């Protein structure tokens, strides 16, 4: 048992923190709105800066330009980036597609794509969900039909984050409609500039254009873009989801938001000046502090186990559920604490904390839904973690 970071870990955290001090605007509150051009420029600048310092893909093996950093260092990286609500952490390329390519790609494919991800040059997005395939992903219908040296891709992907900014997409397509659902799926990569690709923005309930619907109308994709085996895409595709599943971002966002609330309550400039002397406010903020720390430790435990070579599937699901739930609790309480001010939209006159809590609360309704709903995560915890029978 040891509940502190090593000197090396502390040192990395402080270096990253000073880099973010330099690169983030003084009045930065985040989170970035990727549909805003100025925020996207910031995203690209930070990504390049991280790449120059060797941090963007430090989790990768040395032979692909990484530094084989430990899962704990990777978690500290993700945590600090999220805590500062900094953009530029290219998860799709660096943490999802890159590692999948290392495992399932050909040498030529690795050569072609890994370098550009490591340099922060190419933006990737993920084409998994479809209008009729959410949690039941293996029912996906987007077809890829073989035609000479190409596939012809037709169908629709949805909830695609960053499709409006991405150069490339890695996607799951159905290549054998006759086979069992899991056995007729392939993983391919597609250039978003291809003829027949149409990106339609979807504005979320917070009023932010963060994801998209992408329509593929007979898009030609060379067969050399197949990753792994034909009809072997389910396994490769699920590997991505294992990289995706952790709660550390939520735990860090929750900590940042809670600290803002504590500062607000203690401030002499708060319009809701009664909060300072309200015992129920003290009690509630203390409870949330405990919940945030509990979620944070769960995320560190996942990294600790990964560092020992385990694949802590149930623990990763637990951390995602706990952290995404506590983040919403903090945001809920922020809105409640601000009372009448709590429901002022961001940008409103006389708003408190720039109306950010209301906007974030609406935005992160997505937390328990995306990357495997919390209900799906609980199935994993019960079945893989506790050994309860599958239906």
Partner 1 sequence: MDFGLTETQELIKASAREFLDEKSDSAIVRAVADGDSDAITALWNEIVELGWSSLIISEEHGGAGLSFSDFAVLLEELGASLAPTPIVESSISSWILERFAPDALKSDLLPQIANGDILITPAIVERDASWDPESTKVAATPSGSNLVITGEKRFVAFAEQATHALTLVRTDDEELTLVVVPIWKSDGVEQTPLSHASGVPVSSLSFNELEVSESNIIATGKEATQAAEELVAAGGVARAAQLAGLGRAVIEATVEYTVNREQFGVPVGSFQAVQHHLANMAIAAKQVTHLVHSAAWSFSPYGYSADTAAQAKIAASDKIAELCWTAHQCHGAIGFTWEHDLHLYTRRALAWKTDYGDSAFHKSKLANAMGL
Cα separation of 132 and 156, whole Å? 10
Cα separation of 82 and 240, whole Å? 20
3-class SS of residue 213? strand
* Binder of partner 1 out of 301, 329, 354, 365 (CB under 8 A): 301
Span from 99-107, 197-205, 276-284, 352-360 in contact with partner 1 (CB under 8 A): 276-284
Q: Is the peptide bond before 376 cis (omega within 30 degrees of 0)?
A: no
The helix (run of H) or strand (run of E) holding residue 152 is strand 150-161
Tokens at 6, concatenated: 């090593």
* Binder of partner 1 out of 50, 72, 190, 337 (CB under 8 A): 72
The CB-of-62 to partner 1 minimum distance in angstroms stands at 24
Beta bridge partners of 179: none
Which of 364, 110, 101, 95 minimizes the C-alpha distance to 241?
95
CB neighbour list of residue 306: distance below 8 Å, 6 or more residues apart: 71, 312
The helix (run of H) or strand (run of E) holding residue 266 is helix 248-266
- 286 scored as a contact of partner 1 (CB under 8 A): yes
* Binder of partner 1 out of 11, 139, 224, 266 (CB under 8 A): 266
Tokens at 43, concatenated: 């995203």
Task: Write the binding mask 304 to 343 for partner 1: x where contact by CB under 8 A, - elsewhere.
Answer: xx--x-----xx--x--xx---------------------
- 262 scored as a contact of partner 1 (CB under 8 A): yes
The CB-of-101 to partner 1 minimum distance in angstroms stands at 29
- 294 scored as a contact of partner 1 (CB under 8 A): yes
Question: Whose Cβ is closer to partner 1: residue 179's or residue 286's?
Answer: 286
The CB-of-136 to partner 1 minimum distance in angstroms stands at 14
Q: Which residues bind partner 1 (CB under 8 A)?
A: 1-5, 72, 262, 265-266, 279, 281-283, 285-287, 289-290, 293-295, 297-298, 300-301, 303-305, 308, 314-315, 318, 321-322, 375, 377-379, 381-383, 385-391
């Amino acid at each position: 048992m040891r509940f502190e970071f090593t000197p090396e870990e502390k040192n990395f955290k402080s270096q990253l923190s000073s880099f973010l001090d330099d690169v983030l605007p003084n009045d930065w509150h985040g989170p970035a709105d990727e549909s805003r051009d100025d925020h996207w420029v910031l995203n690209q600048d930070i990504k390049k800066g991280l790449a120059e310092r060797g941090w963007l893909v430090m989790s990768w093996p040395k032979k692909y330009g990484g530094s084989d950093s430990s899962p704990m260092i990777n978690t500290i990286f993700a945590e600090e980036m999220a805590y500062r609500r900094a953009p530029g952490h290219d998860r799709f390329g660096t943490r999802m597609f890159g590692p999948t390519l290392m495992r399932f790609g050909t040498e030529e494919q690795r050569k072609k794509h890994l370098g550009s991800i490591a340099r922060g040059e190419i933006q990737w997005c993920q084409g998994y969900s479809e209008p009729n395939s959410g949690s039941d992903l293996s029912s996906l219908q987007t077809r890829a039909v073989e035609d000479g040296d190409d596939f012809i891709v037709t169908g629709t992907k949805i909830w695609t984050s960053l499709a409006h900014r991405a150069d490339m997409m890695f996607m799951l397509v159905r290549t054998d409609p006759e086979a069992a659902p899991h056995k007729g799926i392939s993983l391919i990569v597609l250039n978003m500039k291809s003829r027949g690709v149409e990106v339609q923005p979807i504005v979320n309930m917070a009023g932010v254009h963060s994801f998209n619907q992408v329509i593929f109308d007979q898009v030609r994709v060379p067969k050399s873009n197949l990753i792994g085996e034909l009809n072997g895409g389910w396994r490769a595709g699920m590997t991505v989801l294992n990289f995706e599943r952790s709660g550390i971002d939520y735990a860090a966002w929750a900590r940042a938001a809670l600290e803002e609330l504590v500062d607000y309550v203690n401030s002499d400039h708060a319009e809701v000046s009664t909060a300072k002397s309200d015992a129920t406010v003290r009690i509630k903020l203390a409870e949330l502090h405990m919940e945030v720390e509990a979620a944070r430790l769960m995320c560190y435990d996942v990294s600790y186990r990964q560092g020992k070579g385990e694949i802590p599937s149930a623990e990763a699901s637990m951390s995602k559920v706990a952290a995404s739930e506590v983040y919403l609790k903090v945001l809920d309480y922020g809105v409640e604490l601000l009372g009448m001010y709590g429901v002022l939209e961001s940008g409103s006159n006389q708003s408190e904390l720039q109306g950010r809590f209301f906007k974030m609360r609406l935005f992160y309704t997505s937390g328990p839904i995306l990357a495997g709903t919390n209900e799906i995560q609980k199935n994993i915890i019960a079945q893989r973690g506790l050994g309860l029978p599958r239906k």
